[in-house]
Amino acid sequence: MTGIKDVAERAGLSVATVSRALSGKGNVSPSSRERARAAAAELGFVLSYHASSLASGRSRNVGLVVPSVHRWFFSALIEGVSSSLLQAGYDLTLYNIGGDHEQRQRVFSDFLLRKRVDAVIAVSVELAEEEIQKLLAVHRPIVGIGGPLPGASTIRIDDSGIAESATRHLLGLGHTRIAHMTGEEFYEQDFQLPGSRRSGFEKAMSDAGLPVHPAWVVTADFTVEGAYASARRMLASAPERPTAVFAASDEMAIGTILAARDFGLRVPQELSVIGIDGHDLGEIFGLTTIDQDVKGQGALAVRKVVAAIDSNPPPEPDDTQHPTTFVVRSSTAVPAPGSGR
């Protein structure tokens, strides 16, 4: 193993100077810098990660905690975060705590706290205030996406607001028989999200003086498959069918469209469907949706943690509301006369 010593020797410099030259910190004359670089290159030398981290206290490594990598939202976010981090010269350590509660605990006690990461991005994961404080206490900035984190910075979208405008879009088209597919509440994740979207839906409905039909508020697990099953159940009872469905995610909207097709219901003529997300498949399903720019959220999260990492004192926690875009495609339309009757 060639170490920095070998480089120093070869370059005719001291270890300290080589370290400064390679890291770019501190003053080094251009000629020394060049000699150090050259020697390192010739020897194929690369700094030892652990030694640097131990000595400097910085890992150039950010932990990303997600409850799933499989659902679209999370995989899109991982894409966004990973490419931004790579740009910034940081590694990404992925903690998929999808499983049980025990796994989640292990991640916290065994992994996150071992000073292995410089910062944490937590997505749709509910953290106890105590856990957050523990991290912040050792100067580990933490940014939350998709839910409030007491005491930490967060990025979120206006869930209730966009749910409201999605519903209003349907109302504006003349729908009155509107269903809502919401998410199931999971243990310690996805916390208020389904609730916020649902309350936006209810608000828009009540503002319009319309009742919320209990049988038309169905739940699914945020996946296409789950929504498909759920939608089939709801759409099976022909006489009492809604003319429009507002799904709390695009995956669920797609599942609903697929279920509708199975029943021979044309979208949008006999059933309008709107989702939230900006899923890549939205285009080919002609899905009207509200795009929440997931990759942008990921990139923003990275900017926040990176800024926080090299800021001293730690910045005040703040709460950023990420903008969304209404994308009107062909899955929503004026209800056909007599449809859903």
For DNA, the binding residues (CB under 7 A) are: 1, 3-5, 12-17, 19-20, 22-23, 25-29, 31-32, 45, 47-48, 51-52, 54-57
Query: Which range, of 88-96, 152-160, 209-217, 263-271, touches a copy of itself by CB under 8 A?
Result: 88-96
CA distances from 119 to 22, 77, 171, 215, 294 (A): 24, 17, 44, 44, 20
Q: Are 273 and 285 in contact (CB under 8 A)?
A: no
Residue closer to DNA, measured from CB, 117 or 162 = 117
Candidate residues 48, 311, 325, 330; the one interacting with a copy of itself per rule CB under 8 A: 48
Best CA proximity match to 249, nearest among 270, 227, 264: 227
Q: Does 258 bind a copy of itself (CB under 8 A)?
A: yes
Give me the amino acid identity at 166: A
> How many Cβ atoms are within 10 Å of 334's Cβ, its own excluded?
13
Q: Does 337 bind a copy of itself (CB under 8 A)?
A: no
Query: Which range, of 21-29, 199-207, 220-228, 328-336, touches a copy of itself by CB under 8 A?
Result: 220-228
Candidate residues 129, 184, 207, 225; the one interacting with a copy of itself per rule CB under 8 A: 225
Whole-angstrom distance between the N-terminal and C-terminal Cα of the chain?
77
> What is the DSSP secondary structure assignment for residue 184, as one 8-state letter?
P
Query: Which range, of 183-191, 213-221, 279-287, 315-323, touches a copy of itself by CB under 8 A?
Result: 279-287
CB of 23 to DNA, least distance (A): 5
Q: Are 340 and 241 in contact (CB under 8 A)?
A: yes
Residue closer to DNA, measured from CB, 61 or 199 = 61
Tokens of 14: 């001291």
Best CA proximity match to 275, nearest among 259, 294, 258, 291: 291
Helix axes 159-172, 193-207, angle to 10 degrees: 40
Residue closer to DNA, measured from CB, 49 or 326 = 49
Query: Which range, of 19-27, 108-116, 179-187, 318-326, touches a copy of itself by CB under 8 A?
Result: 108-116
**The 3-state secondary structure of 222-233, one letter per residue:** CCHHHHHHHHHH
Give me the amino acid identity at 13: L
CB of 138 to DNA, least distance (A): 10
Q: Does 34 bind a copy of itself (CB under 8 A)?
A: no
Helix (H, G, I), strand (E, B) or coil at 245: strand
Interatomic CA distance for residues 78 and 92, integer angstroms: 9
Interatomic CA distance for residues 329 and 169, integer angstroms: 12
CB of 99 to a copy of itself, least distance (A): 6
CB of 280 to a copy of itself, least distance (A): 6
Helix (H, G, I), strand (E, B) or coil at 126: coil
Query: Which range, of 54-62, 267-275, 297-305, 312-320, touches a copy of itself by CB under 8 A?
Result: 54-62
Residue closer to a copy of itself, measured from CB, 95 or 246 = 95
Best CA proximity match to 295, nearest among 284, 280, 316: 280
Q: Catalog residues that contact a copy of itself under the rule CB under 8 A.
A: 1, 46-51, 53-54, 59, 61, 68-70, 75-76, 78-79, 82-83, 86, 89, 91-96, 98-99, 103, 106-107, 109-111, 113-116, 138, 223-225, 228, 255, 258, 261, 280-281, 283-285
